[in-house]
Amino acid sequence: LFVDAPLTEGASVPLDRAQANYLLNVMRLKTGDAVRIFDDRTGEWAARIESEGRRDARLVVATRLGPREAVPDLWLCVAPIKRARIDLVAEKASELGVARLVPVATRRTVIERLNPERLRAHMIEAAEQCGRTALPELVAEPVKLERLLADWPAGRALIFADETGGVPLAKAARPCPAAILIGPEGGFTPEERDAIRACPAAVGVSLGPRILRAETAALAAVAVWMAAAGD
């Protein structure tokens, strides 16, 4: 369970309604039962439930079980797409171990604004389900592609998913730090494609002969990358 407060031994942590309901009524846990929690800062801890009735509960933090996980330093840069689909990308990026999710505004991006709270909630739920003890960072506001390229950090590979052709992704996978860049449903414009290719860190990669939806391309690329180079 994710607890958004720095954890220390012996701390008493109040749970919100949803968390209390999940533990007491969905998981049917009761006072004294053990729970594994993480705060995305200090690592994973064992805690015990102290419940007051069926709706209120708190946790008493016991022992630290391990450090905050070290995930591969892989960013997923994706042009925002329709709500249900970007929610899927956020959820799967969390499961797959992405370190940072960067929404990118491109010429053909149709979704101008994101709901970072909703995306973060999907990432937390996915992390709890798959046992992560670190959450992906989420850049709340879409970054303009030009700005992203102009400020590209030295030493980070820019793996650009290019449906017009590129080296097979598995061949381009190399140890992090790296970023995978996925275009919007309408694709990158030719000018954008040229600007990306002009970035010294950029490697154009193919995800195969078929044109994938943006969310499929994002998740397939991250999965292939993690299998080939995720340390």
CA–CA separation, 55 vs 37, rounded Å? Answer: 19
Least spacing, CB of residue 72 vs ligand SAM, in Å: 20
Scanning 60-68, 123-131, 139-147, 211-219 for contacts with ligand SAM by CB under 6 A, the matching segment is 211-219
Which residues, 6 or more positions from 34, have their beta carbon under 8 angstroms from its beta carbon?
Answer: 46, 47, 48, 49, 62
Nearest to ligand SAM of 121, 212 (CB atom) = 212
Which among 13-21, 96-104, 134-142, 209-217 is the span making contact with ligand SAM, rule CB under 6 A? 209-217
Ranges of beta strands (E only) in the chain are 12-14, 34-38, 44-52, 56-66, 74-78, 100-105, 137-138, 143-144, 157-161, 167-168, 178-182, 202-206
Distance (Å, whole) CA 33 – CA 115: 35
Q: Does position 208 bind ligand SAM by CB under 6 A? A: yes
The contact pattern for ligand SAM, residues 135-174, with x = CB under 6 A and - = no contact, is --------------------------xxx-----------
Residue 187 binds ligand SAM, judged by CB under 6 A? yes
Cα gap 191→173, rounded to integer Å: 25
What residue ranges in 111-166 does DSSP mark as E strands? 137-138, 143-144, 157-161
Task: Report CA dihedral (132, 180, 173, 126) to the nearest 10 degrees.
Answer: 20
Please identify, using beta-carbon distances, which residue of 125 and 163 lies nearer to ligand SAM.
Answer: 163
206 near ligand SAM, rule: CB under 6 A: yes
Q: Give SS3 for 204.
A: strand
Per CB under 6 A, 213 contacts ligand SAM: yes
Q: Which stretch binds ligand SAM (CB under 6 A): 37-45, 65-73, 83-91, 204-212?
A: 204-212
Which residue minimizes CB distance to ligand SAM?
A: 183
Contact between 183 and ligand SAM by CB under 6 A: the answer reads yes
Binding stretches for ligand SAM (CB under 6 A): 161-163, 182-183, 185, 187-188, 206-208, 210-214, 217
